[in-house]
A = this chain, B = another copy of it.
Amino acid sequence: MTGGMAVWDCPDFLDLPERDQKPRRVGLTHVLDKGITPPALEALLTQAGDFIDVLKIGWGIAYVDPAVKERVALCNAAGVLVSLGGTLLEVCAAQGRVDELRHWAAGIGVGAIEVSDGLQAMTLDQKTGLVRSLANDFTVFAETGAKDGHAPVVTEKWLAEMEADLAAGASWVIAEGRESGTVGLYHDDGSVRAELVDAIAARLPLDRVIFEAPRKAQQTWLIRRLGAGVNVGNVPLDEVLPLETLRLGLRADTAVTGQVTLR
């Protein structure tokens, strides 16, 4: 299961779902970084780097973090793709500074950029234009959904936007949930908009979609509905191993047991 790791302390006596090794296109774990310190990040990557596919430095954190260059380098060395948050790009777009962002991001080694319209200040054409342009130099994650919980969530509009983003060159589309798990895919109490998830799963290839799901109950719902290989986003940094156990049926929420057989 965890081929890249030292096998001597990885047990292998249970029958568990198969997990692809990195780099993979399904079963992605996309984590949300709010500015973890470099030593803590290094320790996490050493321990659990094989379980982390993408580290998104949330919103504009990268812009203010004096350690950002060091942190990006740690991720790159561990084979973890670093993405900037979409809000930073949106602010740059509003100020006419997208070129400056591209140049700076490339300079510090960032490999991916999220293109979003969480502030609802762009047309779809402007957004797909950004996707197309940035995809020349970066892996692009294109996000759909507003940051404001009061914004209407219209399924058909989401699907059309996701298809347009993929057509424009996005590697993955991301379905919005925020750090809180209370907007976009979720009602304000955190419960899942099941019909929206089902519509996305019916229309789009699941290896091109990442569902933001910061809460355990949301991750559990997705794994039960779409399988252990669902791509999960905005995972808190201290929930990487817990999510892995949810995928593998090693936590009560997803464990499947028949009659117990003792021997």
Q: How many copies does the complex hold?
A: 3
Cβ of A240 under 8 Å from chain B: yes
Chain B positions within 8 Å of A69 at CB level = 9
Q: How far is the CA of A250 from the CA of B108 in the complex (A)?
A: 19
Q: How far is the CA of A96 from the CA of B260 in the complex (A)?
A: 7
Chain A positions 19-61 with a Cβ under 8 Å from a chain B Cβ: 34-40, 43-44, 46-48, 50-51, 58-61
Cβ of A77 under 8 Å from chain B: no
Q: Indicate if the CB atoms of A92 and B14 lie closer than 8 Å.
A: yes
Contact with B along A118-133 (1 / 0, CB 8 A): 1101100010011000
A221 to chain B, nearest CB (A): 15
Cβ of A249 under 8 Å from chain B: yes
Q: How far is the CA of A13 from the CA of B105 in the complex (A)?
A: 12
Q: Indicate if the CB atoms of A121 and B260 lie closer than 8 Å.
A: yes
Q: Indicate if the CB atoms of B5 and A66 lie closer than 8 Å.
A: yes
Number of A interface residues in the complex (CB < 8 A): 80
Contact with B along A222-263 (1 / 0, CB 8 A): 000000000000000011111011001111110101111111
**Interface window among A83-91, A157-165, A166-174, A196-204:** A83-91
Central interface residue in A94, A129, A245, by most chain B CB within 10 Å: A245
Given contacts A43-B37, A257-B94, contact A61 B14 (CB under 8 A): no
Q: Indicate if the CB atoms of A99 and B259 lie closer than 8 Å.
A: no
Q: Indicate if the CB atoms of A87 and B252 lie closer than 8 Å.
A: yes
Residues of chain A having any CB pair with chain B under 8 Å? 2, 5-6, 9-11, 13-15, 34-40, 43-44, 46-48, 50-51, 58-61, 63-69, 87-88, 90-101, 104, 108, 118-119, 121-122, 126, 129-130, 147-148, 238-242, 244-245, 248-253, 255, 257-263
Given contacts A13-B92, A96-B261, A96-B262, 6 further A-B pairs with CB under 8 A are A15-B95, A35-B242, A38-B47, A64-B244, A64-B248, A94-B260
